[in-house]
Amino acid sequence: MTETWEEAKISKLLMEAFAPQLERQRASDSAKPTANIDVLITFDETGVSSHPNHISLYHGARAFVASLVKGKPGWTNPVDLYTLSSVNVLRKYTFFYDMFATLATFAMSMGKANKEHPPTLVFMNQLAGEGALGTAWSAMTTAHKSQMVWFRYLWIGFSRYMLMNDLKREKV
Amino acid sequence: MDPTTTTFLCLLALMPVLYMYTVGVVATRFPALRNKRICLLIAHPDDEAMFFAPTMLALTRPETGNHVKILCLSTGKTDCFHWRRTHVNIH
């Protein structure tokens, strides 16, 4: 549970799941690389909580997405890889106050706006209503009840990740 | 109470309102994913709720036309934590 997972194994698993036809496409010069997903989302290089498993996912996902266009210069990658930004401990537990830093990060990244492949995605939960903070809380406290040790209550009460995510598009 | 403290406390109190307004703007004006086949790759079953709840809730709204799959690479079982997962429907 605390070990690093091999990048190559993760990449191979993703390949089998999402681009099983890739070998055949690679063999032909004119065949465009395709996949059966358009977007892959995972943790960033720091893994948000620095968990080795999370970091392994980042490397495995990168390796998979890179392999889709390896040896095919000029082809657009069929999969966009977006990673969840890790924030420092000063920001992590500031709940909705982190909104300012998150929006600033977004503003700074929008230099090269690209509608089809946005460089940054920001998602924010409402505080009340359907599909809002209450839903996020109950996902943790009911579906993942076995994980709700005392410090998890601090997480769901203060963490900015319960309210907002900013995802950055990886250049692979 | 001096003016600085008053201002500061007002801002603190108004923060939820400001936040709720911002959420509306972000949801309608910011770049989005539409009609995509998406895979969320996680390590442990609760990652989707602990870290990715805003992403999951936004991307699975029916009007986006997205199709979202979650691929989880472990059961997360250790000596201290054992998963007993019920079927999750976060809507």
In this prediction the pTM is 0.90
Average pLDDT, chain A: 92
CB spacing of B73 vs A10 below 8 angstroms:
yes
Q: What's the N-to-C CA distance of chain A in angstroms?
A: 28
Neighbour-count burial of A149, counting CB atoms closer than 10 A to its CB (0-12 exposed, 13-18 middle, 19+ buried): exposed
Q: Residue B76 corresponds to which tokens in the numbers above?
A: 């997360």
Tell whether the model's pLDDT for residue A29 goes beyond 80: no
Structure tokens at B13: 């109190």
pLDDT grade for B77, boundaries at 50, 70 and 90: low
> How far is residue B46's CA from residue A151's CA, in Å, rounded to a whole number?
15
Cβ-proximal residues to A46 (8 Å cutoff; 6+ apart), any chain: A55, A86
For residue range A103-149, list pLDDT tens digits in order. Answer: 999 999 887 778 889 999 999 999 999 999 999 999 999 888 888 88
Nearest chain B Cα to A2, which residue?
B78
Helix (H, G, I), strand (E, B) or coil at A38: coil
Highest mean pLDDT among A103-112, B41-50, B77-86: B41-50
Triad A17, A143, A133: Cα angle to 5°: 100
Nearest to A13 by CA among B22, B71, B82: B71
Rounded mean pLDDT, A28-32: 79
Q: Which two tokens stand for residue A40?
A: 């892959």
Element (H, E) at A122: strand A120-124
Chain A residues 100-159 with a CB less than 8 Å from chain B: 103, 106, 113, 115, 118, 120-128, 130-132, 135-136, 138-140, 142-147, 152, 155, 159
Q: What is the pLDDT of residues A46-59, one digit of tens each?
A: 999 999 999 999 99
- Report the share of chain A in percent with pLDDT over 90: 74
